[in-house]
Amino acid sequence: MLDLVAGGGRHSRLLRDSGFRVRVVDRDVSALLPLADGRCEVRQIELEVDAPWPLGNWYDGIVVTNYVRRSLLPAIAKAIAPGGGALI
């Protein structure tokens, strides 16, 4: 699972504590670092409009809430594994 622009990590925490492996991404990870463990990877990334998608593909699920950057939508769609889904 991928929690993109995770903020305080409320969805990351829910996913991790529900047993999912989750990659957590934000440009400010200060509130997210305490979540890091064997099931939760925290990555500090500045998502630039024109930069290549830095997060790989084949996520079972991607969560993006309270953040809009339309230029990222194709990369998000491509990063979802077959049968997966996105909550935007």
Give the integer Cα–Cα distance in Å for 24 and 65.
13
According to CB under 6 A, which one of 1, 2, 6, 15 is a site residue for ligand SAM?
A: 6
Q: Which of 18, 21, 28, 33 binds ligand SAM (CB under 6 A)?
A: 28
Query: Which one of residues 51, 57, 67, 77 is an interface residue with ligand SAM (CB under 6 A)?
Result: 67
Counting other chains too, the contacts that 32-41 makes at CB distance below 8 Å and 24 or more residues apart are: 32/6, 32/8, 35/9, 40/12, 40/16
- Count of residues making up the chain: 88
* Residue 27 binds to ligand SAM (criterion: CB under 6 A): yes
Rounded to whole angstroms, the Cα distance separating 88 from 11 reads 12
Does the footprint of ligand SAM cover residue 47 (CB under 6 A)?
yes
Binding test (CB under 6 A) with ligand SAM, winner from 30, 37, 38, 66: 66
Interface residues with ligand SAM (CB under 6 A) are 5-8, 10, 26-28, 45-47, 65-67
